[in-house]
């Protein structure tokens, strides 16, 4: 989450880019999307011998 904010900050401070309401709105949308995916995205499941019949030994 620090990457997009630091990129915007450096572009404003170093490159003298304007920080407009459109930039702020885009940042809010991106950060909101990252939060939604992190919060409600698909959970990772790890393949183990217990939950995969192909890995079970006969």
Look at the pTM and tell me if it is higher than 0.75: no
**CB distance 29 to 4 below 8 Å:** no
Place of tokens 């809010």: 28
pLDDT of residue 50: 76
The pLDDT tens digits of the residues spanning 1-18 come to 678 789 999 999 999 999
**CB distance 4 to 31 below 8 Å:** yes
Based on C-alpha coordinates, what's the Rg of the chain?
21
The pLDDT tens digits of the residues spanning 28-38 come to 999 999 889 88
Token duo for residue 35: 């939060």
- Decide which of 39 and 54 is more confident: 39
């Amino acid at each position: 989450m620090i990457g997009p904010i630091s990129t915007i900050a450096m572009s404003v401070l170093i490159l003298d880019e304007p920080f407009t309401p459109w930039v702020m709105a885009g940042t809010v949308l991106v950060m909101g999307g990252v939060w939604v995916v992190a919060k409600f995205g698909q959970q990772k499941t790890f393949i183990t011998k217990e939950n995969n019949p192909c890995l079970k030994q006969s």
